[in-house]
Structure 1
Amino acid sequence: MKRISYIYGIAITAVSSIFLLSCSDMLDEVPKDFVSRANYYQNEADAQGALNGAYSSVGPDFYGITNYLMTELQGDYLNGRGSQAPISIVDQVLNQQNIGRANANWGTLYSAINRANAVLDNVPLIENISEEARERILAEAHFLRALAYFELVRGWGPVPVKTTESKDLSELSSPREPEAVVYQLIIDDAKAAEAGLGSVQNETGKASVWAAKMLLAHVYLTTENWALAAEKADEVITGGPYSLVSVSVPNDFYKIFAAETSPEDIMSVHHSDISGSAIPTYIHMGSNYPYNYSSSGFFAWLPDTTSFIGASWDDNDLRKPFNLYREFQNAAGNWVSLPSTAPVLFKKFITNSEGLSIYSVPVYRFTEAFLFYAEASAMADGAPSALALERLNMIKRRAYGYAPQAPSPVDYPSGMSRDEFIETVLQERAYEFILERRRWWDLKRTNRVKEAFAEVGKTFIDQRMLWPIPESEINNNPAITQQDQNPGY
């Protein structure tokens, strides 16, 4: 059997004996079928199996509902209900239930890191494997470790850094490292992934060279290395096998998310139609209010229409009716308004009237490369170039149903200052990536958190900028004490 113990946020995996013996034989025979750490890594199949474990941790386990509600509900355009309401009350620290949710995310990420470390430690020693397979598997492990640390450093600040597998309790001691150290590891890992990965994996649920470039662009943008961020985004735009989906009506956006093979999907986490991502359950009304006979839920995430998604959002932007709805079709086929308790709800991720459902959670999609480039190049150059403006306009044109490559009546004008242009890019990002885990991180990295929340009548306290270090980590990691805890907890 396989026993997994989660200790201090790190998964310690023990592969124990596997054998079939009668009761009498157990007393006097040595097990002949024995799987241990020493003899597990024998061939490519073993290496791939270990890598799949890392994918599971940083994939469906992390890109699930617990992570989504902790990031989305700390945005300025929605509010939580029920047990999730305190996440949206940003003038208070998290309560115990939501501290537990933050702790769960920490544990999942360190599980992914430890599993990636196991691959990186052991796969180089395998003899019965092709060099091509070895290089690919190691590159994917580097990507997954980089992605996990990127989530950790943005959410918790300085964090323990582990670059080898932890096999027992004696190997858990690790101090919080400065953010600069963590980011350098992320960049080194992402570069290793970029160098070792082929053009495109068979599945968008796996890392590719293009996903590695997007991660590098994202990290460089976050650390204000503008020129390199623009360079990596440009490489994806000009060299990748992707294209923007054409849109003429709101439901055309389902082609981006609901299609099995979308030309915009650089990397995503694929949930099955049985298990789903759980997101529809949290954003939808109860069973009495189906959206065109869609799945039911308990509307735990309510749009805040005093924010940018309210009256200031142009109704002609097709992303608005794709993301929000105010009426539903009842069993008689009549359209009726949502109740006054929830007059508007989120629509993205909900099955539509044509039966299109979204089971994939985007990690990186092609649209973002254009917006990465626009922001980064304008910051690097001190003003928006013609190319930066064009790439920003391509995304806006598509949003209004125009062809992305041709000038349109909705184009942003030239002549904007750098600051005006950056504000415009961030607004486009806000519209484009609703419920895609971007808004909170965008506000944080651009130092706009308090300003944005003030615009919706909220006071954001400094203690909410970082999530709390789990008490189990403080209690059991010898290199960390209560003095290392983030402020407020």
Structure 2
Amino acid sequence: MVLSIEHKMNVMNIKHKILLMALVLLSASGCKKSFLELAPESNANAETFYKTKADMDLAVNAAYSTLYNVYDPEGPVSYTAEMMGDNTTLYIIAGNQTDKFAFKDYNLQTNNTMVYSFWRTYYSSLYSINIILSKLDDSELTATEKESVKAQMSFLRGLYYFNMVRLWGDVPIVTKPLSVEETYKVVRSPKADVYKLILDDLTFAAEKLPPTAVGRATQGAALTAKGEVYLTLNDKANATTALMSVYTSQNYKLQGTYAAVFGPTVKNTKESIFEIQYLGGASSISTGTYSKYYRNYSPNVNVFGFSGIGMNQVTDDLYNEYETGDPRRELSITLGFQNGAVFQEQKYPIKWIDPTAVKTDNNVLANNNFMVYRFADVLLMLSEATDDPKYLNEVRTRVNLPLFGTPGYPSAKYPTLALAIEHERRVELAIEFHRWFDLKRTGRAVAVLSAKGKPVTEKKLLLPIPETVRLQNGIITQNDGYN
């Protein structure tokens, strides 16, 4: 898979090239394992691969394809941002149910297989990025092309480390391919150092990336991520600067209606800032470019013409968060499904349904893209950064709800701007992988989630370092609360 489906390539050619790239990376990995799950030092084949523009184009596409793992509907961002918050739950789900239920129940153990899988996902993705950066200087690319590739890889690395530092706190910083022996000398770096790397990468990306590009990192995407990083660090002044640059660029605007934000044929609109590209249809069973959100977020039953996975089933608490007359509720959540003559009540997300998707061998070849960042998110972060409801009210204007500060607004329930923003982000961005991170950023996670019966403490707001990682390298420390 690749992030950007190039107009001049057919899907089969892309798949062939990505498979070739995977073989190159595997040939570089040797037979020994590193505690970071990084490929060891490159062999001769990899040394000669990253030379031509064609080589680098292939490598860059492979690096972008790691987004499909990081933002997979059962990936690290989905499990934490939604399952560890109050938006979603699980009922029946395929796989290791004990390890999966542990996220929503705050019962994570150091041997949790999902946590270890997520760790591997990030560090294997970073390897794909870092090897490109390490080979750029010796490649045949022009100076302009090298700068472009470096900016794109810097954006991805900054985004991934931002996710990782919020998941685990201190994490090992790796900015180049390492041999197995070298990885045993790498320890967890303090969060401050990780955030410095993130901001350095995103700053470079924001300076060098183009204003717009379909399916690729852009200046707007880097600035949006940078604004969120600064908000997380409680630096509202710098957050305002970054986010205001996106707001005033005129490159983005809200779609006219909320219904126009999502759909299998709604792709790369003016509201989209960074969007992961998918291509469904009959041919995608062989190319692997189809979207999985529709099937994964459907209940674990076989009444849709396919068996749903049952991930991220919607809580009553989220459903009841919407105000009367808010069209976003019915456009985001359905109440259940028809099982023969019986209507089965079970709320689940419908932002990524594709009713016309081809179904084959229990796969659902959906066409829906996934937005990591969109303009409504920027507007709500701007209100958070500036303490100005103007931007929040732009979001509410689209759905014809009373504006904050006016008599019709539900001020008894959300009496402060901070609570109004928290509410608005929850309903506007529901199941888009923001909720848990939002609550952590504002320091509200423990209060909000414990009031709803979650056995959460400050220490449990970080994942454990996987047991396997520490068995492979004893100098890697464990997070408090998991010893």
Whether the 8 Å contact between 2:300 and 2:309 is mirrored in structure 1 is yes
* Secondary structure, aligned partner of 1:339: strand
Give the whole-Å Cα distance in 1 for the aligned partners of 2:454 and 2:154. 40
Whether the 8 Å contact between 1:281 and 1:297 is mirrored in structure 2 is yes
* Residue of 35, 41, 46 corresponding to 1:8: 35
Equivalent position of 2:372 in the other structure: 363
Equivalent position of 1:78 in the other structure: 88
Equivalent position of 2:423 in the other structure: 427
Q: Which runs of 4+ in 1 moved over 6 A?
A: 353-356
* Residue of 87, 103, 107 corresponding to 1:87: 103
Compute the displacement of 1:359 (Å).
2.2
Which structure has more relative contact order (CA 8 Å, sep 6+)? It is 2
Equivalent position of 2:142 in the other structure: 130
CA offset digits 1:25-67 (Å, max 9, x no partner): xxxxxxxxxx53433332222223332332222x112111222
Compute the displacement of 1:391 (Å).
1.2
CA offset digits 1:160-209 (Å, max 9, x no partner): 111222144334421111111100110001111111212222x22x2111
Which amino acid in the other structure matches residue 347 of structure 1? I
Give the whole-Å Cα distance in 1 for the aligned partners of 2:34 and 2:326. 48
Which amino acid in the other structure matches residue 389 of structure 2? L
Residue 349 in structure 1 maps to residue 352 in structure 2: yes
Cα distance change on mapping 1:324 and 1:171 into 2, 3 Å = closer
Equivalent position of 1:31 in the other structure: none
Residue 450 in structure 1 maps to residue 446 in structure 2: yes
Whether the 8 Å contact between 2:279 and 2:367 is mirrored in structure 1 is no
Q: Percent identity?
A: 24
* Secondary structure, aligned partner of 2:323: coil
Equivalent position of 1:410 in the other structure: 402
- In structure 1, stretches of 5+ residues that fail to align are 17-34, 379-387, 401-408
CA offset digits 1:193-250 (Å, max 9, x no partner): 111212222x22x211111111100100111110111111111111041221111xx6
Instruction: With the length of structure 1 as denominator, give the TM-score of the two structures.
Output: 0.80
Equivalent position of 1:269 in the other structure: 276
Equivalent position of 2:129 in the other structure: 116
Which amino acid in the other structure matches residue 11 of structure 1? L
User: Quick check: which has more Rg, 1 or 2?
Assistant: 1
Cα distance change on mapping 1:478 and 1:195 into 2, 3 Å = farther
Equivalent position of 1:338 in the other structure: 343
Compute the displacement of 1:14 (Å).
6.5
Residue 395 in structure 1 maps to residue 409 in structure 2: no
Equivalent position of 1:301 in the other structure: 312
Give the whole-Å Cα distance in 1 for the aligned partners of 2:455 and 2:68. 33
Equivalent position of 2:79 in the other structure: 69
Which amino acid in the other structure matches residue 173 of structure 2? V
Compute the displacement of 1:354 (Å).
11
* Residue of 209, 213, 220 corresponding to 2:223: 213
Which amino acid in the other structure matches residue 252 of structure 1? A
* Secondary structure, aligned partner of 1:254: coil
* Secondary structure, aligned partner of 2:308: coil
Cα distance change on mapping 1:488 and 1:14 into 2, 3 Å = closer
CA offset digits 1:266-315 (Å, max 9, x no partner): 1122233244443322321355543xxx754143433221x2421x5223
Give the whole-Å Cα distance in 2 for the aligned partners of 1:121 and 1:132. 17
Give the whole-Å Cα distance in 2 for the aligned partners of 1:324 and 1:410. 22
Give the whole-Å Cα distance in 2 for the aligned partners of 1:224 and 1:424. 18
Which amino acid in the other structure matches residue 478 of structure 2? D
Cα distance change on mapping 1:134 and 1:262 into 2, 3 Å = same
Cα distance change on mapping 1:187 and 1:169 into 2, 3 Å = same
Instruction: With the length of structure 2 as denominator, give the TM-score of the two structures.
Output: 0.81
- In structure 2, stretches of 5+ residues that fail to align are 1-22, 359-364
Which amino acid in the other structure matches residue 359 of structure 1? N
Q: How many residues align?
A: 431
* Secondary structure, aligned partner of 2:373: strand
CA offset digits 1:354-386 (Å, max 9, x no partner): 9996622221111111111110111xxxxxxxx
Compute the displacement of 1:419 (Å).
8.0
